[in-house]
């Protein structure tokens, strides 16, 4: 079968795009209404054109015996109110599924949290590779002035669940204070 033969894609470290790819997904401010804490800023940004927050480029590398998905993400620099652009964040549906993230461009943080309330943030610069263990929700925040690009590998069997993060957020948010990226406690908690 064709899918059981090796295949390579060509990745651009600057743009985060690779070819060939199976699909790409765009997320705008209107896709993340519940995620950002300043609802007034959310509404006015949507009215002012609903800017792009991040894009995902994806290839599943499905074979007849297994899969190993590749997803690259490019988060634009920017803020909604004082809160930096970020991914939605999710848990994996399957309780035994980890993930590897590799930051190739930009700067920011990987936020991770368990359902028991343990929280950990990893500072990211180009070259940081992080292992996300099973059962840790994960979100990436771009605190820099250029796009943040990272590469993810995971099994399609992982699945994604967004509702818990949508309702509760992560323990801490990253906002700009006096020109600096600062952690503040999430006011939903």
> Are 22 and 58 a contacting pair, CB within 8 Å?
yes
Quick one: 67 or 82, whose CB is closer to Zn ion?
67
Nearest residue to 92 (alpha-carbon basis) of 44, 39, 161: 161
Binding partner selected for residue 143 from Zn ion, ligand S6P, none, CB under the kind-specific 5 to 8 Å limit: none
Quick one: 79 or 180, whose CB is closer to ligand S6P?
79
Quick one: 165 or 175, whose CB is closer to ligand S6P?
165
Alpha-carbon gap, residue 38 to 81, rounded angstroms? 6
- Applying CB under 6 A, the residues found at the interface with ligand S6P are 56, 71, 73, 87-90, 99, 152, 154, 158, 160
For residue 13, give both structure tokens: 């470290």
Local structure of 98: helix, strand or coil? coil
Interface region with Zn ion, contact rule CB under 5 A, candidates 20-28, 40-48, 75-83, 97-105: 97-105
For residue 89, give both structure tokens: 């964040």
For residue 108, give both structure tokens: 């920011």
Q: What are phi and psi of 66, to 5 degrees?
A: -165, -175
Candidate list 99, 107, 113, 122; residue touching Zn ion; CB under 5 A = 99
The least distance separating Zn ion from the CB of residue 97, rounded to whole angstroms, comes to 8
Interaction of residue 113 with Zn ion, rule CB under 5 A: no
Residue nearest to Zn ion (CB): 99
> Are 76 and 53 a contacting pair, CB within 8 Å?
yes
Quick one: 99 or 107, whose CB is closer to Zn ion?
99
The least distance separating ligand S6P from the CB of residue 172, rounded to whole angstroms, comes to 17
Distances (CA, A) of 31 to 55, 87, 124: 12, 10, 25
Q: Which residues bind Zn ion (CB under 5 A)?
A: 99
């Amino acid at each position: 079968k064709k899918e059981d033969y090796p295949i390579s894609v060509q990745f651009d470290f600057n743009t985060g795009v690779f070819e060939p790819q199976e699909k790409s997904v765009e997320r705008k401010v209107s896709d993340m209404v519940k995620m950002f804490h300043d609802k007034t800023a959310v509404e006015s940004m949507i009215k002012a054109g609903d800017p792009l927050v991040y894009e995902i480029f994806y290839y599943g590398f499905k074979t007849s015996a297994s899969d190993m998905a590749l997803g690259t993400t490019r988060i634009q620099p920017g803020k909604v109110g004082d809160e930096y652009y970020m991914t939605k964040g999710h848990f994996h549906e399957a309780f035994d599924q980890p993930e590897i993230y590799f930051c190739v461009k930009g700067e920011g943080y990987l936020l991770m949290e368990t359902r028991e309330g343990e929280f950990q943030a990893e500072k990211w610069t180009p070259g940081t590779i992080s292992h996300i263990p099973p059962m840790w929700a994960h979100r990436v925040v771009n605190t820099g002035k250029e796009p943040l690009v990272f590469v993810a590998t995971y099994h399609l069997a992982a699945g994604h669940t967004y509702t818990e993060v949508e309702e509760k957020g992560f323990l801490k948010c990253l906002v700009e204070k006096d020109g600096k990226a600062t952690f503040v406690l999430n006011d939903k908690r």
